Amino acid sequence: MFNDSQFTVITGASSGIGKATAIHLDKLGFRVFAGIRKEADGQALMKEASDRLTPLLLDVTDGNSIAAAVSTVTEKTSGKLLGLVNNAGLSLNGPLELVPVPEIKKLMDVNVLGLLAVTKAFIPLLRKGQGRLVNISSGHGLLAIPDKSVYAASKFAVRAISDSLRVELRPFGISVSCLVVGKVDTAVLGKIVAEREKMMKDAEPEITKLYSPLLEFFDKEVKGLAGISPSEVGKVVAEALMKKKPKAQYLVGPGAKKMKNLARLPVGLRDRLMYKAIYGKR
Ligand SMILES: NC(=O)c1ccc[n+]([C@@H]2O[C@H](COP(=O)([O-])OP(=O)(O)OC[C@H]3O[C@@H](n4cnc5c(N)ncnc54)[C@H](OP(=O)(O)O)[C@@H]3O)[C@@H](O)[C@H]2O)c1
């Protein structure tokens, strides 16, 4: 079933969803180029995978790194790619007033500009392989809720890019799927809590106090909600890469479906429900 044309690149494979997906695809027989930024992360991955897996140094915010990755993949594949999985991403929560602008730029650089630059660079290889593009978005890319303006903006952008490219790349036989992912148990959840603590420490106490109901609501939410395992996302990525007719959108995890249903409500009702949930009044 698998042959030399099963080459797939995945970004952000050092941990979490990217790592679990790289290992899952490797087990299925794919020839995975696993994007990492540190050699040590590549070595760790190789211990858990077959010798089909190749670590690929790839910082999605660095044009030289992207160009070098494209050269490496071109050399090792005779220029044909079955799949590109855009997974690398940062998270950033918090009321906009408390979020530092450099952090906003950093997130947009990875989640949006990096994804665009990597995709653009690999399109010629995907065209030769009549391949598949798989983008990782989030429930926050379907429904923008308070505390998540920056992250939601980036994940709405991932959906927009997927919708646009799906038709643009169709003449070349390239399919585009977008995964709308709910909560997954990865290191990102610890990073969110740590970032939140730093943000509160750096902010003026009287401004933080203004947002305390919001901050308390989302602190409880991030700790309380059960997440799925990252390998569950890997299985859906594999489906998007292997199914004869991959879906335009995959909802992964129960949170994603809930977000989709809430997003369908009239805006006024949705806003009132969210407000009541956070502040306990209409
Ligand atoms: N976990 C969730 O609940 C959840 C839900 C919905 C969507 N998602 C999305 O799923 C994706 C993976 O998240 P995760 O939860 O698995 O988080 P994670 O464990 O923190 O993984 C993030 C990955 O992105 C990589 N990365 C960061 N900056 C990069 C850059 N400049 N160039 C290349 N790679 C970079 C990281 O590499 P380093 O180790 O080198 O930093 C790491 O491999 C993200 O797009 C996230 O938004 C996650």
The pLDDT, as a whole number, for residue 1 is: 37
**In angstroms, what is the span from residue 90 Cα to ligand 1's centroid?**
5
Query: Helix or strand or coil: residue 158?
Result: helix
Q: Is 195 in the pocket of ligand 1 (CB under 6 A)?
A: no
Q: Is 86 in the pocket of ligand 1 (CB under 6 A)?
A: no
The pLDDT, as a whole number, for residue 4 is: 52
CA angle 196, 136, 85 (to 5 degrees): 130
Q: Is the pLDDT of residue 201 over 90?
A: no
Q: What is the pLDDT of residues 154-168, one digit of tens each?
A: 999 999 999 999 999
Residues linked to residue 180 through DSSP beta bridges, in sequence order = 137, 251
| pLDDT, greater one: 1 or 259 | 259
The rounded mean pLDDT for the chain is: 94
CA–CA gap between residue 14 and residue 45 (Å, rounded):
7
Q: Is the pLDDT of residue 3 over 80?
A: no
The answer to whether residue 275 is catalytic is no
Q: Judge: domain 7-186+228-260, CATH 3.40.50.720.
A: yes
| pLDDT, greater one: 255 or 237 | 237
**In angstroms, what is the span from residue 187 Cα to ligand 1's centroid?**
9
Q: What is the mean pLDDT of residues 208-219?
A: 90
Residue indicated by tokens 């490797």: 26
Instruction: Give the residue, by CA position, lying nearest to ligand 1 atom 46.
Output: 89
**In angstroms, what is the span from residue 78 Cα to ligand 1's centroid?**
29
Ligand 1 pocket test target in 17, 32, 87, 112 with most atoms within 8 Å of CB = 17
The pLDDT, as a whole number, for residue 232 is: 97
| pLDDT, greater one: 281 or 186 | 186
Give the residue from 119, 219, 224 showing the smallest Cα distance to 174. Answer: 119
Q: What is the pLDDT of residues 68-124, one digit of tens each?
A: 999 999 999 989 999 999 999 999 999 999 999 999 999 999 999 999 999 999 999
Q: Is 215 in the pocket of ligand 1 (CB under 6 A)?
A: no
pLDDT tier at 282, thresholds 50, 70, 90:
low
pLDDT tier at 261, thresholds 50, 70, 90:
very high
pLDDT tier at 180, thresholds 50, 70, 90:
very high
Q: Which residues contact 17 (CB under 8 A, 6 or more apart)?
A: 87, 136, 181, 184, 186, 230, 233, 234
Q: Which of ligand 1's atoms lies nearest the C-alpha of 20?
A: 16
**In angstroms, what is the span from residue 217 Cα to ligand 1's centroid?**
24
The pLDDT, as a whole number, for residue 194 is: 85
| pLDDT, greater one: 220 or 74 | 74
Neighbours of 149 (CB within 10 A): 17
178 is written with which tokens?
Answer: 């977008």
Ligand 1 pocket test target in 184, 189, 225, 250 with most atoms within 8 Å of CB = 184
- What percent of the chain shows pLDDT beyond 90? 84
Q: Is the pLDDT of residue 147 over 90?
A: yes
Q: What is the mean pLDDT of residues 186-198?
A: 84
**In angstroms, what is the span from residue 23 Cα to ligand 1's centroid?**
15
User: What's the full length of the chain, in residues?
Assistant: 282
- What percent of the chain shows pLDDT beyond 70? 98
255 is written with which tokens?
Answer: 């949170």
Q: What is the mean pLDDT of residues 145-149?
A: 96
The pLDDT, as a whole number, for residue 132 is: 98
CA–CA gap between residue 138 and residue 242 (Å, rounded):
22
Q: Is 21 in the pocket of ligand 1 (CB under 6 A)?
A: no
Q: Is 203 in the pocket of ligand 1 (CB under 6 A)?
A: no
Q: Is 152 in the pocket of ligand 1 (CB under 6 A)?
A: no
Q: Is 226 in the pocket of ligand 1 (CB under 6 A)?
A: no
Whole-prediction pTM: 0.96
Any idea where the domains of the chain sit in the sequence? Answer: 7-186+228-260
CA–CA gap between residue 99 and residue 182 (Å, rounded):
23
Q: What is the mean pLDDT of residues 145-156?
A: 97
**In angstroms, what is the span from residue 89 Cα to ligand 1's centroid?**
4
Residue 45 half-sphere exposure toward CB, CA atoms < 13 A:
34
CA–CA gap between residue 13 and residue 205 (Å, rounded):
38
Q: Is the pLDDT of residue 172 over 80?
A: yes
Q: Is the pLDDT of residue 2 over 50?
A: no
Ligand 1 pocket test target in 37, 231, 237 with most atoms within 8 Å of CB = 37
